[in-house]
Amino acid sequence: MLLLSCPCCGVTAEETEFANGGEAHLKRFGPGSTDAEYEAYMFARKNPRGVHFERWRHAYGCGKWFLMARDTMTLEVYGTYKAQTTEPPAELQAHIKARRPEWEGF
Amino acid sequence: MTRYSAFAIAREALRQHTGWTRAWASPEPAAQYDVVIVGAGGHGLATAYYLGKNFGIKNVAIIEKGWLGGGNTGRNTTIIRSNYLQDPSAAIYEKARSLYEGLSQDLNYNIMFSPRGVMMLAQTEHEVRGYKRTEMANKLQGVDTRFIGPAEVKRLVPIMNIAGPRYPVLGALWQPRGGTARHDAVAWGYARACSEMGMHVIQNCEVTGVESAGGEVTAVNTTRGTIGCKKLGIVVAGHSGHLAAMAGFRLPIESVALQAMVSEPIKPCMDVVVMANTVHGYMSQSDKGEMVIGGGADHFNNYTQRGSWQHIEETVRSLIETFPMLSRLKMLRQWGGIVDMTGDRSPIISKTPLGNIFINCGWGTGGFKAIPGSGWAMAELIAKGEPGPLARDFSMFRFREGRFIDESVAAGVAH
C-alpha cells in the first residue's frame, strides 16, 4: 500500500484515496504533428524499471492533479510536487539521486 | 529421451523407476544459432517448438534469465477460453484453444487440459447486451459459445447465489469447450519437446545487451557470454520494454501488477470456471481442491511482482456476495505477476524497426490461454519474416496507423 502526500491540500493518505493517471511530463502533440510524434504522445511510454514520474489525482480528497516520483522496482515514493511544472523540482531530483545513485537523471 | 506411456510406467515399476531420464538437457550456450528466443516462458517455448515442428528450424536457443516458466507462465489462473468479440482476437485465441485440446498427445506430456467450460457472468443489463452481441460475433467466427439464463447458471454452479441483491446474476456467456490446464506442465512439455528436437534451453542466462550492425541484430550479450544469432525473437512479457530499449526502439507498453490467490483445498464444489467481470473476480477449483481466484490489476507501473492489498480485499469481498460459502475459507497463498498492457489491450506479434528482430508481447492479463496459438503465429513470423494470417493484425505499428483491436473490456478487466 503506497502512502502519498497531496502537495495541493497537504493530506497524507493511503493510495486508495488517489487515482493514478499514467506517465507525467508528456509533451502534447496534436493537429499538424507527424504520425510518429502523435503515436509516441498517445502510446509510447518510458515504462522504466526504476524511477518513474507519474500523474496522480487526489480523487477522494481535494480532487486536484499532482505529480509524483516513485520507484517501480521498490515501490518507494520519493516525493510529490505540483503539476504546474515541466520538470521535477531540483531538491526532489537531488533526493532521488541520493537514494538511487545509479539513476541517470530526469 | 524416454517416451512417456502406460507401458513405460509398467516397465519402470518393474525396475524401481531407475530408467527415467531428465525431461530436457541443460547445455552450455553455443557461439551461434539460427534463431535465439529470449524468454523461456510458455510463449517463448511454444514459438521454438513450432519453429521446429512446422518449419524445420532446429538450430535454436531459448534463453531465460530465471528458470523455466518462472514468470507469468507460473503465476496465472490457467483459464483457457476464446470468446472474444473482435475477429483477430477470436481467431488466435480459438487456434490456441483448439491446439490445447490435442497438446498432451502432441507433446507426449500430460498438460492436464480440462475442458470443463467457462462461464462469464452477466450481472448488469449492459453485460447481458454485451454478451449477447459477443455470442453472435462468436457464431460468425466459428467459436462455440452461447448465452444462458440464470436457471441454467444455477444448475451448472449450485454454490452460486444468483439472487443478488447488489449484483444479481442475469445470465452468462457459456463456452463449454473452454477450461483450464496445468500451467507448469505446458512450459515443461514444450521444453522437453524442444530439447528432443536438439534445441538448447538455457536457464539462468540474462540478456544484458543487443549487438547490431547495419540495422540488423548480430548477437545478444548475456550473463553467460555473447551468443550470435541470425534472427532474434523477444518473448519476455512484462520486461519487453526493457529489452526493446536495449535494441533501440520503444513499445506502446506499460507494465503493471496483476494478482491471484488460492484458498485451502476443499471437496469438489464447482466444476466450471466462473468469471464475473462487473465485480472483477474469477474463480475455478483446481484438481487439488483449492479455489483459484484472480482479481483486478493495479493501475500504476510496477515491476515488483507484488500487488496492492486493497485489490485482494476487493476481489474476495465481491466474490463472497456471489459465492457465500467462500466466506468461511482461509486463503493459502497470494502472488503477483507483471503483465504488459498495450494501449488497446491486445497483444503484439510483430516485426520491429530492426529487420531481423521479432517481438511477441502485450498479452496483458490473458497470456496463458494463448500460448499455443501465439507460438504458432510467432514461429511463422520468424521463419518467413512476414506475419501469417493469425499475426497480421497484431503489428506494433497498428498504433501509428490507428488500426486498434479494441478488446479493452474483455482483456482489461478479467481473464
Q: Would you call A39 and B301 a contact, using CB atoms and an 8 Å cutoff?
A: no
Q: The whole model's pTM is what?
A: 0.93
Nearest residue on chain B to A3, alpha-carbon basis:
B308
Q: Would you call B304 and A72 a contact, using CB atoms and an 8 Å cutoff?
A: yes
Helices (H) and strands (E) in chain A, counts: 2, 6
- Scan for cell 504533428, then name that residue: A33
pLDDT band at B411 (very low <50, low <70, confident <90, very high): very low
Residue B90 has pLDDT above 50, yes or no: yes
pLDDT at B402: 86
pLDDT at B412: 38
Residue contacts between A and B (CB atoms, under 8 Å): 59
**Contact A43/B at CB under 8 A:** yes
Residues B345-354 pLDDT 10s: 899 999 999 9
CATH C-level class of A3-99? alpha beta
Alpha-carbon gap: B302 to the closest alpha carbon of chain A (Å): 5
pLDDT at B69: 87
CATH of domain B118-179+255-342: 3.30.9.10
pLDDT at B414: 40
pLDDT at B315: 87
Stretches where chain A sits below pLDDT 70 are none
Which residues of chain B are within 8 Å of residue A15 when distances are taken between CB atoms? 308, 310
**Contact A2/B at CB under 8 A:** yes
Nearest residue on chain A to B309, alpha-carbon basis:
A1
Residues B124-177 pLDDT 10s: 999 999 999 999 999 999 999 999 999 999 999 999 999 978 889 999 999 999
Residue B286 has pLDDT above 80, yes or no: yes
For residues B230 and B83, the answer to whether their CB atoms sit within 8 Å is no
pLDDT at B409: 52
**Contact A12/B at CB under 8 A:** no
Beta bridge partners of B358: B233, B351
For the residues B101-116, what does the mean pLDDT come to? 96
Residues B31-86 pLDDT 10s: 999 999 999 999 999 999 999 999 999 999 999 999 998 889 999 999 999 999 99
Which residues of chain B are within 8 Å of residue A73 when distances are taken between CB atoms? 303-304
pLDDT band at B321 (very low <50, low <70, confident <90, very high): confident
Closest CA to B186 of B379, B361, B43: B43
Residue B220 to residue B26: CA distance in whole angstroms? 19
- Contacts made by residues B203-206, CB under 8 angstroms, sequence distance 24+: B203/B26, B203/B40, B203/B64, B203/B66, B203/B67, B203/B68, B204/B64, B204/B65, B204/B66, B204/B67, B205/B29, B205/B63, B205/B64, B205/B65, B206/B65
Alpha-carbon gap: A7 to the closest alpha carbon of chain B (Å): 19
Residues B182-222 pLDDT 10s: 999 999 999 999 999 999 999 999 999 999 998 899 999 99
CATH architecture of B12-109+183-252+344-412: 3-Layer(bba) Sandwich (3.50)
**Contact A58/B at CB under 8 A:** no
Domain coordinates in residue numbering, chain B: 12-109+183-252+344-412, 118-179+255-342
**Contact B241/A at CB under 8 A:** yes
Q: Would you call A43 and B302 a contact, using CB atoms and an 8 Å cutoff?
A: no
Domain coordinates in residue numbering, chain A: 3-99
Which residues of chain A are within 8 Å of residue B253 when distances are taken between CB atoms? 45, 47
% pLDDT > 70, chain B: 98
Which residues of chain B are within 8 Å of residue A45 when distances are taken between CB atoms? 241, 250, 252-254
Q: Would you call B302 and A72 a contact, using CB atoms and an 8 Å cutoff?
A: yes
pLDDT at B413: 46
Q: Would you call B399 and A39 a contact, using CB atoms and an 8 Å cutoff?
A: yes
Alpha-carbon gap: A9 to the closest alpha carbon of chain B (Å): 22
Q: Does B12-109+183-252+344-412 match B118-179+255-342 in CATH topology?
A: no
Q: Would you call A39 and B252 a contact, using CB atoms and an 8 Å cutoff?
A: yes
